[in-house]
Amino acid sequence: MPRNPYGIVHHQCVIGGLHHRQPYNPYNGRHTAAGKPQLCMNLGPQGHKQNREACMTGIIDYARTELRPFSELPFNEIDALIIATLIYEDVANICPTLMLDEQQQSGSFATRIRTFEPKHPLIWLKGLWHPAMESISLKEANQELHRSIDTSEDDKPHEAQMVSVIDPHLTHTLFEEAGNNPRFTGIQLGAVVEHVNRGEQTQFAAATFQLPDGRNRRNPTHKGTMVLSFRGTDDSLIGWKEDFNMAFQYPVPAQRAASAYLDTVARLWDGPIVLVGHSKGGNLAIYAAMNADAKVQNRIRHIYSLDGPGFPSEIVTSPAYRRIQPKVTKIVPSSSIVGMIFETPEPCRVVSSDSDGIMQHSAFTWLVDGDQFVTEPDLSSSSQLFNEELNHWVGALTPEQRERAVDALFTVLHSNGATTFSEVMSNFPASIPSMLGAFVGLTPEDRRHLAEAVPILIKAATAKHKTDSANAKAAADADEPNGTPATEQKNEPNDKPTDV
């Protein structure tokens, strides 16, 4: 299989032919029984188009069929998206938790002295200086979340902690597939933190997934890679409000919590560190790394921001940001909205999605080919236009005006007593009179700023992706021998942050 100049392996049908969107079926099983991806042959444009459906899948299918251990197929970008999505499950009720201002039982030396095990003195002695993270396996977590011992059915209904427009059953299914796959079952899950405070206008959640890639064969998770996963925005209006607060406030409480979480986990346990996050979680992952001390930063191997917002221009040009920038991989869908908020200096990888507009933000719509994402040559015109218009709107307002505009928006959304995004959507027709009343009650200036911002958001959220013919032409142009590889957005030579 050929490699592109970035060292990323693609199947021939991805770089040798044209990109075609097909409806995504997470249960289509387009892989071999051995769990290794099928090789999609380069059959020319017509054969390629017919064979495309067999090539492209999604993260649920990958979690079910990619059976190779991490020793054979190291942790990759799709694994990062899966772990960044698993944190949306209700793991706080079934996993060991962590207090950011306290040490766990393994953190107290006196406590570890009292746990002397006469049958295993060497293990106990090692535990005095290198305590293990209190955790449960992903397999055990799956059983706790979804199945009773005496049945194979999902008989433990519960809600996923995510935006209501995303089908929660997809999150449950992803967790079940990963919990039954040998590649993921040995991952240890612990150090869960959840914090929602309406007074502080903050929503934060994180967990640590320890990979079985350590050198100890008896205990492969010992000093294995710790993947810290930061949850994105959930269904609460508090979480959405905090996202919008980033337009005028830095740092927001969730960013400070992410920094404290990384510092706590790195202090308590040894091992390499990878940071992942989807949506707001990607922003939190970068912020935590940027504000960690030098010893912790040296342990960080990689940072994945998966359609996460960027940062203000004065932050992305700071020495602190530039120190960790080489470790950052930012991946966005072609019609990205959330990932286009604020500025991102590093190149973005653009992935294909089987959906449109704001629904491309869902990780379940991102297309996978083998152990890589299906990439696109460029962002859609709607995504680039949204970035330009939003930056223009934000730049035209003072921080105080932005704060009033955000407060005005959420005054309208809260007007019918809703506390979650799903409540706003489900009661929307009946809520129109109260919303209009709240809007009329705003100051003329706040009404004007809100009236300018809402059309920008609506236009981007409802945008359609490019036609297949436009995609075909763009992909063909990207394969020109002397052309710049188009799966990443490049900075200008002067190294100034781009709008992407």
Q: Residue 159: which pLDDT band, with cuts at 50, 70 and 90?
A: low
What does the pLDDT read at residue 208? 96
The model's confidence at residue 162, banded by pLDDT at 50, 70 and 90, is low
3-state helix, strand, coil in the chain (%, to 5): 45, 15, 40
What's the rounded Cα separation, in Å, for the pair 76 and 8?
A: 11
Percent of the chain with pLDDT over 70: 70
Q: What CA–CA distance (Å, rounded) separates 373 from 59?
A: 10
**The pLDDT value given to residue 158:** 58
Residue from 142, 132, 134 nearest 98 by CA: 134
**Amino acid 107: pLDDT:** 45
Tokens standing for 271?
């091992």
Considering only residues 291 and 18, tell me which one the structure prediction assigns the higher pLDDT.
291
| φ and ψ of 377, to 5 deg | -70, -25
Residues 319, 312: Cα–Cα separation, whole Å: 14
Q: In angstroms, rounded to a whole number, what is the distance separating the alpha carbons of residues 91 and 146?
A: 11
**pLDDT above 60 (res 32):** no
- What integer pLDDT is reported at residue 12 of this predicted model? 30
Which residues pair with residue 264 across a beta bridge?
none
pLDDT of 166 reads 67
Helix (H) or strand (E) holding 446: helix 444-461
- Which whole number is the average pLDDT over 469-479? 45
Q: Which of 203-212, 213-222, 424-433 has the highest average model confidence (pLDDT)? A: 203-212
pTM as predicted = 0.75
| Across 79-83, 152-156, 260-264, least confident range | 152-156
CA atoms within 13 A on the CB side of 360: 32
The model's pLDDT over 54-89, given as tens digits with 9 standing for 90+, comes to 557 899 999 999 999 999 999 999 999 999 999 999
Q: Which has more confidence, 171 or 113?
A: 171
Task: List, in order, residues 6 or more apart from 408 with CB less than 8 Å away.
Answer: 442, 446, 447, 449, 450
Of the chain, the percentage scoring pLDDT greater than 90 comes to: 34
What would the two tokens of residue 432 be?
Answer: 């129109």
On the question of pLDDT at 155 being above 70, the answer is no
Model confidence at 35, in pLDDT bands (50, 70, 90)?
very low
Q: Is 228 helix (H, G, I), strand (E, B) or coil?
A: strand
Q: What angle do CA 439, 440, 441 make, to 5 degrees?
A: 90
Q: Angle at which helices 428-440 and 399-413 pack, to 10 degrees?
A: 140
The first and second tokens of residue 358, run together, are: 């704001």
The token duo for 416 is 């019918």
Q: Of the given ranges (28-37, 70-79, 269-278, 381-390), which has the lowest mean pLDDT?
A: 28-37
DSSP secondary-structure letter at 40? P
Which among 226, 231, 217, 229 is positioned nearest to 267, based on CA atoms?
Answer: 226
Other beta carbons within 10 angstroms of residue 253's beta carbon come to 17
Q: What is the pLDDT of residues 269-293, one digit of tens each?
A: 889 999 999 999 999 999 999 999 9
